[in-house]
Amino acid sequence: MLLLMSSMLFVQCDKSDAVVTADNLDEYLSKNSDFSMFKAAITQAKLETFTKGPGPFTVFAPTNAAFTAAGYTPGSIAALDSITLTALILHHFQTSANGVFTARTSFEIPEGPNAPMTSIAGYSVFSYKDKATNNIYLSGALISERDIRCSNGIIHKIDKILVPPTASISTQLAANPNYSLLVQAIAKAGLTSVYSPSTSAPATVFALTNATMTANGYDATTIAGLTGAALTTLTNILRYHVVASRNFSAAMKVGASLKTTYVNAGAPTYLTVSFASGVFVKGVSNPTAFQINPVDMVATNGVIHTVAGMLKP
């Protein structure tokens, strides 16, 4: 019986088919063309201490495709200032709970959802293990290949860049001109605190672009002139786009109900999640669901998804 249990435990821990190499982290990244942009960024930031050093280190390594999807090119990476680049790269290296370096296997990544792990940059990465698919996600990024064991640590290949959460939800919205009407509407409705939750009580915002606001009759002039019942209607709609919990797209499930901050006649209101070549959300009064894209824009106090249409309670 003891032998059987030991075998079962070994299978469970080793089911990721780990790659084992005599290379150190720097050598492995250098030899694998899929990581050339990540390796170039490490070299540019003079952070090879964390790939050539004794370790042990855990590296969540984004592929070239991940950099490209985030809008980076080799030229734009080279143009980044040293502070921004250093924070970006170090956010892909993990420390343990007590701040020491560690080689964390996929088995040791917390199940979550939203289990925080601290990067060397000092920010949190949130893990989630989907038991139905055996997939592991980090702040919405999929680990596409896990447990690449090098002589001084472990690499997990990921399909998205992990962006350090250096700004709040409201700050990120204000900094993006595509959300200027939403920012104006939030201020007009007096909902600054709703869209600026505390870090200890994070929120998910389904953000409306200027195009969506305008398509629904809310241009800058209209928003500025709202009063009475018309302003109340917009206020309720805006509350309906905020969920008082952190929800990455990968952790959303078909048919799930997301509780919003809008309360109607004393009763909570919800959004419904669906999938069709992407993640979609639907309001009670929407005839169809709207896709969220881009997704998983991480903030210090939550996460932002852009929604393709206005959600109606």
User: What is the reported pLDDT for 55?
Assistant: 81
Place of tokens 């930031």: 45
Task: Give the DSSP H or E segment for 299.
Answer: strand 297-299
pLDDT digits (tens, 9 = 90+) for 138-162: 999 999 999 999 999 999 999 999 9
The mean predicted confidence, pLDDT, of the chain is: 91
Query: pLDDT, tens digit, for every residue of 183-228?
Result: 999 999 999 999 999 998 999 999 999 999 999 999 999 999 999 9
In the chain, the domains with their CATH numbers are: 10-158 (2.30.180.10), 169-306 (2.30.180.10)
Cβ(269)–Cβ(238) below 8 Å: no
Q: How far apart are CA 267 and CA 284, in angstroms?
A: 13
pTM: 0.88
> Burial code of 175-198, b = ≥16 C-beta within 10 A, e = fewer?
ebeebebbbbbbebbebeebbbbe
Summarised one tens digit per residue, pLDDT across range 48-103 is: 988 998 889 999 999 999 999 999 999 999 999 999 999 999 999 998 656 667 78
Instruction: Give the per-residue pLDDT at 99.
Output: 60
Please report the pLDDT score of residue 9 as a whole number: 37
Given a cut of 60, whether residue 13 has pLDDT beyond it is no
Give the pLDDT band of residue 16 (cuts 50, 70, 90): very low
The three-point CA angle 297-168-268 to 5° equals 80
